[in-house]
């Protein structure tokens, strides 16, 4: 496939064959490790390889972009991400070290999963300087399939009961248990749900038998994995997002319907939030979550601006400061406010809105330009819409899987918008 264009009149410099394969391997490793494909072995040491791969893509994209892009665009995708990601890691580490006499470097490297976000700027810059976006999409598809096969392999080979009761927390944390679903290996959930959605759209628009078979394989594997983990709230919000898409999100003209119905939505929000919170607290471990919520609110009242900061497993942790049962990731958006304060919460909501808006615009742009949906862009939009509905209880973009997919989604969406604008 021909390379994309840097501008309407100047063709991008093609990647050499060797460099192209290096880039694609780095891309695979960054997505696979960022979506927690390596969590089942070596205590997730593969995440470090994923971070290194994301940084490698970013460095290569920044170098090529320096010679091929305008200075303003280069600053937007190189300097701004460095300041944003570095600022989050630096400030959260300094805050924890100052408030709880923690070790700054331990906290700083504890926040290293944020460096997976460099994947997004790296992909954007590389595509803008000659890497075919079709190659990126193929790697994403292959990675989604690899993540599912990887999960099923370990699901069938690990003794889940023994792992759940293991004294090694890196092993016991891999398995969850409740009475009606039994022992379950934790999956790379975000990637599996995006794969399921993208496969549905690929089946609907496939024009090749091989593509149809591949999409059917991905859909079958994703559905089978969901039958194992049965995360009902995730599926429910995805179905809701799919239902409202043709009504409100398919075209810009339909946004007016949202404005008309917004008073009803606002009136129903307290009821919906109450039902969701009630379900959340009455599920298994609900009493512990209730105590965690209370402890978090008490702490936030005295540290509302910047929160507690980033703790570390090698020093004083949240469990030492608050309680042994306290984990911010278990209490949704309140946990985000606990860690990063009002400033961090506002930044999180801004990034969530930025990614969703970019995906929405890119989806409309792709439909208008090609006359059909792009399966990956559509799947990412539906998934981000579902995440919006579930925002109160699951701020997934603050953790490795969400950081990886959110950064990738923003890069693909912005590239589609910019490319279409230059082609006109």
pLDDT for res 92: 95
CB contact at 8 A, 235 and 166: no
What's the Cα-to-Cα distance from 370 to each of 127, 245, 373, 419, rounded to whole Å? Answer: 19, 19, 8, 13
Q: Where are the alpha helices (DSSP H) in 230-285?
A: 232-244, 255-282
Judge whether residue 93 has pLDDT over 90: yes
Phi and psi, residue 45, nearest 5°: -65, -20
pLDDT for res 293: 86
Cα dihedral 322, 326, 331, 332 sign:
positive
Judge whether residue 2 has pLDDT over 70: no
pLDDT for res 178: 79
CB contact at 8 A, 319 and 106: no
Q: Which pairs with CB-CB distance under 8 Å and at least 24 residues apart come from 316-325?
A: 316/100, 316/101, 316/102, 321/100, 322/292, 322/295, 322/296, 323/291, 323/292, 323/295, 325/288, 325/291, 325/292
190-234 per-position pLDDT tens digit = 999 999 999 999 998 888 899 999 999 999 999 999 999 888 778
Q: Which pairs with CB-CB distance under 8 Å and at least 24 residues apart come from 310-313?
A: 310/89, 310/92, 310/93, 310/95, 310/96, 310/107, 310/108, 310/110, 310/111, 310/339, 311/96, 311/100, 311/102, 311/107, 311/110, 312/96, 312/102, 312/103, 312/106, 312/107, 312/109, 312/110, 313/110
**Banded model confidence at residue 12, pLDDT cuts 50, 70, 90:** very low
What's the Cα-to-Cα distance from 2 to each of 15, 198, 300, rounded to whole Å? Answer: 11, 24, 53
pLDDT for res 11: 40
pLDDT mean over 25-34: 97
User: What distance in Å separates the CA atoms of residue 360 and residue 345, rounded to the nearest whole number?
Assistant: 23
pLDDT: which is higher, 371 or 72: 72
Spatial CA neighbour of 60 closest among 3, 98, 18: 18
Q: Within 13 Å and on the Cβ side, how many CA atoms surround 317?
A: 11
User: What distance in Å separates the CA atoms of residue 308 and residue 289, rounded to the nearest whole number?
Assistant: 18
Across the chain, what does the average pLDDT equal? 87
Judge whether residue 277 has pLDDT over 90: no
pTM of the model: 0.90
- What one-character DSSP code corresponds to residue 176? E
pLDDT mean over 24-37: 96
**Banded model confidence at residue 182, pLDDT cuts 50, 70, 90:** confident
The encoded tokens of residue 55 equal 């940084």
pLDDT for res 9: 36
Instruction: Tell me the sheet residues that pair with 178.
Output: 182
Q: Which residues contact 285 (CB under 8 A, 6 or more apart)?
A: 330
392-418 per-position pLDDT tens digit = 888 889 999 999 999 999 999 999 999
Q: Provide the CA 117 distance to its chain's centre, in angstroms.
A: 9
47-80 per-position pLDDT tens digit = 999 999 999 999 999 999 999 999 999 999 999 9
**Banded model confidence at residue 272, pLDDT cuts 50, 70, 90:** low
pLDDT mean over 280-303: 78
Residue with tokens 């005295």: 302
User: What distance in Å separates the CA atoms of residue 409 and residue 377, rounded to the nearest whole number?
Assistant: 7
């Amino acid at each position: 496939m021909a390379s994309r264009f840097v501008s309407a009149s100047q063709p991008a410099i093609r990647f050499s064959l060797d460099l192209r394969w290096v880039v694609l391997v780095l891309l695979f490793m960054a997505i696979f490790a960022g979506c927690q494909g390596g969590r089942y072995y070596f205590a997730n040491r593969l995440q470090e390889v994923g971070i290194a791969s994301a940084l490698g893509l970013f460095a290569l994209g920044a170098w090529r972009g320096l010679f091929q892009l305008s200075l303003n665009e280069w600053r937007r995708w190189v300097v701004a991400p460095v300041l944003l990601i570095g600022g989050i890691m630096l400030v959260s580490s300094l805050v924890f070290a100052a408030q709880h006499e923690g070790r700054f470097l331990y906290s700083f490297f504890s926040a290293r999963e944020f460096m997976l976000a460099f994947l997004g700027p790296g992909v954007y810059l590389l595509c803008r300087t000659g890497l075919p976006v079709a190659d990126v999409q193929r790697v994403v598809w292959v990675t989604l399939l690899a993540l599912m096969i990887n999960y099923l392999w370990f699901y069938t080979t690990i003794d889940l009961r023994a792992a759940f009761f293991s004294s090694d927390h890196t092993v016991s944390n891999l398995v969850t248990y409740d009475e009606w679903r039994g022992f379950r290996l934790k999956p790379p959930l975000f990637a599996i749900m995006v794969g399921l959605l993208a496969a549905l759209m690929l089946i609907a628009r496939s024009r090749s038998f091989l593509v149809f078979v591949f999409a059917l394989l991905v859909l079958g594997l994703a559905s089978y994995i969901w039958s194992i983990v049965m995360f009902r709230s995730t599926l429910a919000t995805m179905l809701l997002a799919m239902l409202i898409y043709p009504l409100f999100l398919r075209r810009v003209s339909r946004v007016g319907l949202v404005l008309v119905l917004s008073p009803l939505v606002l009136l129903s929000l307290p009821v919906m939030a109450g039902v969701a919170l009630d379900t959340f607290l009455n599920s298994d471990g609900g009493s512990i979550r209730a105590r965690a919520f209370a402890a978090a609110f008490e702490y936030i009242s005295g540290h509302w601006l910047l929160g507690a900061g980033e703790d570390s497993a090698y020093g004083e942790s949240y469990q030492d400061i608050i309680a042994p049962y306290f984990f911010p990731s278990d209490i949704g958006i309140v946990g985000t406010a606990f860690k990063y304060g009002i400033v961090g919460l506002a930044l999180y909501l801004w990034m969530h809105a930025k990614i969703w808006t970019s995906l929405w615009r890119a989806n409309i742009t792709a439909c208008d330009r090609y006359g059909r949906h792009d399966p990956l862009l559509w799947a990412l939009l539906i998934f981000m819409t579902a995440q919006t509905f579930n925002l109160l209880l699951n701020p997934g973009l603050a953790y490795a899987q969400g950081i990886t997919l959110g950064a990738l989604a923003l890069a693909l969406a912005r590239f589609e918008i910019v490319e279409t604008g230059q082609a006109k």
